Amino acid sequence: MKILIIPYNYPTKENSNRAIFIQDQVEMLRNQGHCVAVLGGIPKTLNDIFNSRNLKFGRLSSENWLLSLPAIRGVGFLNNIIQLVIGKCIFKRYLSRNSIPDVVHVHNSSSAELALWVKKKYKIPFVVTEHSSLMWSGHNKLSSLVFKESKANIAVSKKFAQHLSKQYNKKFYYIPNVVDTSYFQPIKVSEEIRRSNFNVDDAIFLSVGNLTENKNHRLAIKALKILVARFKNIKLFIAGEGPERQSLERLISELGLCNNVFLLGKLPRNEVRELLWKSDFFVLPSKSETFGVVLIEAMAAGLPVLSLQNGGSESIVNSSVGFIAKDDREFTDNMAKLLVTPFNKEEIIEYARLNFSQSVVSQLLKQVYTL
C-alpha cells in the first residue's frame, strides 16, 4: 500500500525526540512492507533556532519531502498560510516523481489543510489521527471540517476518542501510538533473581517528560519527600528540559532532596532506555495527556508504572502493570504502594507487546486504511 504521511511535527537532527511517535509509526509501516513517504512543512520558531543554534531551513531530516519552515509564535494564521503554500508545492513535485498514494494520513487536524486540498484536487482520501491535548477543550472550526471530510478519524486513547466523538458528532477509532517494544526489552532475568536483588531502601523511580507545569513533576518530588522519611536512599531521576527547571531546582533544595532527586536534562532515546533498565519504577504525574508513550516504553522495559488520571493513561495502565491515581494524595500513596507490591516483570513486558507493539498497531491501521 502506498501511504503519504503529513505530520504536524517530526524529529530532526537538532531535536531527535520531537513527535518521535510519528516517526515510529512511519518505520512500523515500512517494516510491514508499505511504501511510505513523509511530506509537508515543519515549523521552526526563533526558540527552535536558539536552542539548536542552527539557522538553516529546508530539509533537516532523512525524509526527502519534509522541509522546515520559518514560523512565528502567536501568528498562527500567517504560519498556516506559509505551510499550506509550501506544502502544495512539495506535493506537486512529489507527484511528478511518484504515483498517486492510496491514502493520506495526517497527524493532527490543525495540520490537515494540505490534506483537504489534496482530497479536493486529486480525489485522494485521507485519515486523521488527533494527538493534541488542546482538543480536550473547545470546538475548532478547522477540526470540524477535517473530521467531516476525512475517511476515518483516529484518537490515541479510548477516553480521548469518546470525548472527540461527542464533541464533533463523528466516529473516532481508538488506535494507540506504536512503540518498538523489542527495543526497550531488557536482557531476560528470572523473576527470582530480580526480587532477590531488589532492596526497597535503594529503589529508583524514573520520570520522563518536559519540565512544564502540565507534566507536574512537582507532585512526584513532593511525594518522594514523604517516602524519604522511611527510605532515606530512594531516588527519583527526571529526564527532560523546560521552563520549570529553576522552579523545580528550588523545590528540590527547599525539601532537602539534593541527594535524592536528579534533573538529568533532555536525553536521547538510547540513554532513556539505559535509565529504564537501571530503574525500578516509572511515574507519570502529568495533569493532561492524550496518550503517554513513555508509559509503554517503561512497561516494555518491565517497569511497574504509576500515573495520575489524565485522560490518556487510563487506556494504558491496569492493575497488572501498575496504578492510576485519581488525585495528588492517591498518587503519593501509590508511590509507596509500588515499593511493596509484587509485580511480574515478564508479564508487564508481555502486556506491552500484546497491546502496543508494531504488529498490533499496524493491523489496526490497516483496517482503517482499507475502509
Rounded-to-integer distance, Cα 10 and Cα 144, Å: 24
Percent of the chain with pLDDT strictly greater than 90: 76
What is the per-residue pLDDT for 193? 43
Please identify, among 123, 143, 175, the residue that sits at the C-terminal boundary of a domain.
175
Same domain, 328 and 343: yes
Note whether residue 154 is domain-resident.
yes
Same domain, 203 and 237: yes
| Enclosing H/E stretch for 68 | strand 65-70
Same domain, 89 and 188: no
Q: Across the strands, what pairs with 173? A: 154
Quick one: pLDDT band at residue 76, thresholds 50, 70, 90? low
> Are residues 207 and 237 in contact, defined by beta-carbon separation less than 8 angstroms?
yes
What is the per-residue pLDDT for 199? 76
Note whether residue 365 is domain-resident.
no
Same domain, 253 and 186: yes
For the cut 50, the answer to whether the pLDDT of residue 320 exceeds it is yes
Number of domains in the chain: 2
pLDDT digits (tens, 9 = 90+) for 80-92: 888 899 999 999 9
- Which residues fall within 8 angstroms of residue 346, CB to CB, at 6 or more apart? 188, 191, 302
Rounded-to-integer distance, Cα 50 and Cα 289, Å: 27
Quick one: pLDDT band at residue 282, thresholds 50, 70, 90? very high
Cell of 348: 508487564
Regarding pTM above 0.85, the answer is: yes
Rounded-to-integer distance, Cα 325 and Cα 276, Å: 21
Same domain, 267 and 119: no
Same domain, 146 and 210: no
Q: What angle do CA 166, 75, 216 make, to 5 degrees?
A: 60
Same domain, 74 and 139: yes
Same domain, 213 and 159: no
Burial of 304 (0-12, 13-18, 19+ CB in 10 A): buried
First to last CA, the chain: 13
Which residue shows C-alpha cell 495528588? 328
Note whether residue 313 is domain-resident.
yes
Same domain, 166 and 189: no
Rounded-to-integer distance, Cα 157 and Cα 289, Å: 9
For the cut 80, the answer to whether the pLDDT of residue 265 exceeds it is yes
Cell of 45: 520558531
Lowest mean pLDDT among 60-64, 183-187, 252-256, 316-320: 60-64
- Structural domain span for residue 258: 181-354
Note whether residue 364 is domain-resident.
no
Average pLDDT over residues 195-212: 84
Same domain, 196 and 331: yes
Same domain, 198 and 132: no
Average pLDDT over residues 257-275: 95
CATH of the domain at 30: 3.40.50.2000
For the cut 90, the answer to whether the pLDDT of residue 355 exceeds it is yes
* 352 compared with 201, residue with greater pLDDT: 352
Q: Provide the CA 162 distance to its chain's centre, in angstroms.
A: 19
Average pLDDT over residues 352-360: 94
From its phi and psi, is residue 120 left (phi > 0), alpha (psi between -120 and 50) or beta?
alpha
Average pLDDT over residues 139-149: 92
Lowest mean pLDDT among 42-51, 227-236, 350-359: 42-51
Lowest mean pLDDT among 23-27, 31-35, 65-69: 65-69
Q: Across the strands, what pairs with 154? A: 129, 173
Note whether residue 141 is domain-resident.
yes
Give the strands of the sheet with 172-174, arranged side by side: 65-70, 35-44, 2-6, 103-107, 126-130, 152-155, 172-174
For the cut 80, the answer to whether the pLDDT of residue 60 exceeds it is no
Please identify, among 157, 175, 193, the residue that sits at the C-terminal boundary of a domain.
175
Which residue shows C-alpha cell 536525553? 267
Same domain, 171 and 185: no
Rounded-to-integer distance, Cα 358 and Cα 360, Å: 5
